[in-house]
Amino acid sequence: MTRRRIVRCLRVLALAAVPVGLVAAGLAVPAPVAAQPPAAAAPLAIEAPVQAAELDRIAVIEKVSPAVVAVCQVGGRGVGSGVIIDPEGYALTNHHVVVPAGQGGPVMQAGLADGVLYDAVLVGHDMLGDVALIKLLPKEPGKPFPFVRLGNSDDARVGESAFAAGNPFSVALDFTPTITFGIVSGVNRYEPLGSRPGGQEYTDCIQVDVPINPGNSGGPLFNMRGELIGINGRISLEKRGRVNVGVGYAISINQIKNFLGHLYAGHAADHATLGALVLTENEDADLARMVVRQILDDSDAARRGLNTGDQLVTFAGRNMSSTNHYKNILGTFPAGWRVPITYRRERETREILVRLQTSQAAAKEERPAPGGPMPPRPLQIEPPAPKVETPASKLFRPAKGMANAYFNDLASDKLLTAVKKHGDFGAAGGTWGAEGTFEAQDRKGDMRLEVAPGTGDDAKVTLKLNIEHKLLPLKQTDPREQAEPIGSGGLMMALYHYHRFLTVGKKGFEGEFLHGGSEPFYPPAAEPAPKGGLAATRVDADVMRTRHGPVTCKWYFGKADAKLQGFEVYLTKDADPCEVFLSDYRDVGNGRQLPHRIECRHADKRYAVLTVARWALGGN
């Protein structure tokens, strides 16, 4: 064999040994310079910072891996990934993972890095945002699960390192997570609704070059501090098959945080719309301006003063400079949330607080269809009764508009138990009276209030603000009468419901009595308005939703202390509610605390402030 032949043989071997990527790169591989067999190379001295960085990375991966979930069908067939976010075993994943995992029902299984397959049940989901919350059942009652910390995805920056964990292609039969590593390729990305019915929209999402493959769906994206910054769920594809081509997307954890209260409370969460069509003023313009083109008359935005032609400047604190920006930020909110919006009309800039409405009803108005028909909105489908029975099946109760009503009961019980710390009013179901003073727009004086529950339907509310107002809340059904005193939006009705909520509780609300998830609450700002606008006054609250007769209420409990901060009373569906803000809580005896300052607002105006000097609570 000539020397030349040997070289050629080596070349073939060398080619066979290079990674596929290099072969694919079409190298004109140069002939090796020397044909001698190489000696075993001495280990390289790795520089200290490199070694340190690598050890840090290994430590972070080891720390988070136990909380990474392989989401499986009952029986252990892997369909996706997930991650546990609290010691009770609640785990986030994708909606498009729990559907096949549950095989049409709510129960599934979940494998952890300890090699154990746990029973799990669907808790709540956000179909449009492609997020679901499941709960793993511990093998021993009360045993805590490993979990990860939620990060702040708004801090993620392009170029920052990140890693994904999950079970791509179901490679790990013992559920040890597969780790892939890369950088954040883009932030605040908008990935539109898929073309199929029941499609999902990724708003304000994180783009990564971290390899995300089938089976990674629902799994965590971490920053290098081991904080959860997103849930991986999508990749861009075109002509190279259903594998990663360097472009993956994670739902940002900050969006998920907005929905988390709804998910924990078992809701089939609904996304929001503004009730207005907002488009760039002129696609060809130098700089894009977002302008209100159409607005629904019965939308809250219209009632707050937004009109066609107004320029949207900020939405929930974010600058609006393209359609993507607008869709991005809007898509991160659940229906029913209030967000601050600033708009410009001529030379004046105004900030308003708008209640976002459900995307279901307004779907047609919200979405322009410039390039042909829009894909249909996903239908909310109630999960059918469980097909497979496991111990997790006990943690499921079907109900309309719910993913799993069992967890709504759980969440309401938990919240109301916490609320009881501020007093148990169950034994104070008789007539309540209050005396003090009031201050309204242009008058003030003594105030006297009496709420008499009566028996049957003869409940009666008397409110004396100089003039005496009376309401029989169950007998007077004319909305105009119910809305008295005029300008309050129904303060007497509100106080009747307040009494009922505290003294009767669940049994008093035959129409609805639900945990409504989490919402921001904005107590009225002191004058002058604080710096930072409405956002500075925001309080995070847990919400209860009730209906008694035709009247629906939303009750806002501060997350920090479970104290009732205020409530909204809707006499009819599409009118401004009577808003009641409660403060200056003081003990009224028997460990009961009641507010001594009650502010009533309606339609952006303060109706009155009631200052209570003395409460008198009647027993049963």
* Binding residues for other proteins (CB under 8 A): 21-28, 47-50, 52-53, 55-56, 157-161, 182-189, 207, 209, 236, 238-240, 244-247, 284-288, 321-322, 324
DSSP string, 6-41: HHHHHHHHHHHHS-HHHHHTT--PPPPS--SPPPPP
CB of residue 196 vs other proteins: minimum separation in angstroms? 18
What does the alpha-carbon distance between residue 453 and residue 463 come to, in Å, rounded to a whole number?
14
Task: Give the contacts of 601 (CB within 8 A, at least 6 positions apart).
Answer: 524, 578, 579, 580, 581, 607
CB of residue 266 vs other proteins: minimum separation in angstroms? 35
CB of residue 207 vs other proteins: minimum separation in angstroms? 6
**What are 565's two structure tokens?**
């901060």
256-271 CB burial, b ≥16 within 10 A, e <16: bebbbbbbbbbbbbbb
* Closer residue to other proteins (CB): 61 or 184: 184
What does the alpha-carbon distance between residue 496 and residue 458 come to, in Å, rounded to a whole number?
12
CB of residue 188 vs other proteins: minimum separation in angstroms? 7
CB of residue 17 vs other proteins: minimum separation in angstroms? 15
Tell me: cis bond preceding 49? Omega within 30 of 0 counts.
Answer: no
What does the alpha-carbon distance between residue 404 and residue 254 come to, in Å, rounded to a whole number?
23
The H or E element spanning position 99 is helix 95-102
- 114 secondary structure, DSSP code: T
* Closer residue to other proteins (CB): 57 or 444: 57
What does the alpha-carbon distance between residue 488 and residue 504 come to, in Å, rounded to a whole number?
25
Alpha helices in 238-320 (DSSP H): 253-264, 300-303
Alpha helices in 384-514 (DSSP H): 405-419, 479-482, 491-503
CB of residue 65 vs other proteins: minimum separation in angstroms? 20
* Closer residue to other proteins (CB): 50 or 467: 50
* Closer residue to other proteins (CB): 24 or 39: 24
* Closer residue to other proteins (CB): 140 or 286: 286
- 394 phi, psi to nearest 5 deg: -65, -20
By the 8 A CB rule, do 261 and 517 touch? yes
CB of residue 178 vs other proteins: minimum separation in angstroms? 18
What does the alpha-carbon distance between residue 237 and residue 248 come to, in Å, rounded to a whole number?
10
* Closer residue to other proteins (CB): 178 or 244: 244
CB of residue 325 vs other proteins: minimum separation in angstroms? 8
**What are 196's two structure tokens?**
């199929």
By the 8 A CB rule, do 223 and 160 touch? yes
* Closer residue to other proteins (CB): 322 or 358: 322
CB of residue 232 vs other proteins: minimum separation in angstroms? 16
* Closer residue to other proteins (CB): 28 or 42: 28
